[in-house]
Structure 1
Amino acid sequence: MNTAEVQQTLAFAAMCVDATAKAEGCSRREMFRRLRDVGLMHGLTTRLDPLHTQSKEYVVDDLLTALHRLEAGN
C-alpha cells in the first residue's frame, strides 16, 4: 500500500469511528476501543473498497449492528 492509500484508509477509519461514536452517544476513544476489542477496526483498515462506496449512514448502521452482535457474544 502506498502512502496515499494508507492516508485514505486511516481517514476513512477515523470518520467511521467518529460517526459511529456520535450515533452511539459515546466518545471517539471509547468507540475506537470497542471496535478494536471485537476486531472491527482491523476490518475497517483492510476492507476499505467495499465499504467506502456506501453511504456514511449505511456504514454506521452496519458497524453498530456488528458491534452489538459481537459484544453480546463476548
Structure 2
Amino acid sequence: MKEEIDPHTGEKWIELSKEEIKMGFLALCVEALAEIEGCDYTDMFNRMEAADITEGYILKHYEPIHTQSWENVIKELKELLAKRESK
C-alpha cells in the first residue's frame, strides 16, 4: 500500500498493490460463499483451502475471474466447491 497526497487538492489517498487487490477479492469470495452456505467465514476459508480453491483457483486465475459478473463468480465458485468436496 502506498500513501499519496494529491498536489492539487491536498487530499490523501492510498494505492493498493496488485497483491493487496487480489487478496481483497479473495476475501470477498470467501465471505460471499460463507453467507450463502450459512457458515462462518473461517470455516468456509478452511473448506476452500482444502478444496484448493483459494490459491489454486481464485488467485491463480484472478485476471479472468475478476472480470466476470459477481453473480457468475459466486455461482462458479459454489459449483466448484461442491464438485471438489464430493470427491
1:41 shift after superposition: 0.6
Q: Which 4+ stretches in 1 moved above 6 angstroms?
A: none
Structure-2 residue corresponding to 1:62: 76
By percentage of residues, which structure has more helix?
Answer: 1
Structure-1 residue corresponding to 2:24: 11
Give the number of the structure whose alpha-carbon radius of gyration is greater.
Answer: 2
**Which 5+ residue runs of structure 1 have no aligned equivalent?**
none
- What letter is aligned with 2:46? R
**Which 5+ residue runs of structure 2 have no aligned equivalent?**
1-15
Structure-1 residue corresponding to 2:49: 36
Query: What SS does the aligned partner of 1:29 have?
Result: helix
1:17 shift after superposition: 0.3
| 1:72 counterpart = 2:83 | no
Partner of residue 48 from structure 1, selected from 50, 56, 62: 62
Percent identity over the alignment is 31
1:15-48 C-alpha deviation (Å, 9 max, x unpaired): 0000111111111101100000010011111211
The structure with higher relative contact order (CA 8 Å, sep 6+) is 1
Q: Tell me the TM-score normalised to structure 2 length.
A: 0.77
Mean Cα deviation higher: 12-21 or 50-59:
50-59
Mapped partners of 2:70, 2:32: distance in 1: 8
Q: Tell me the TM-score normalised to structure 1 length.
A: 0.89
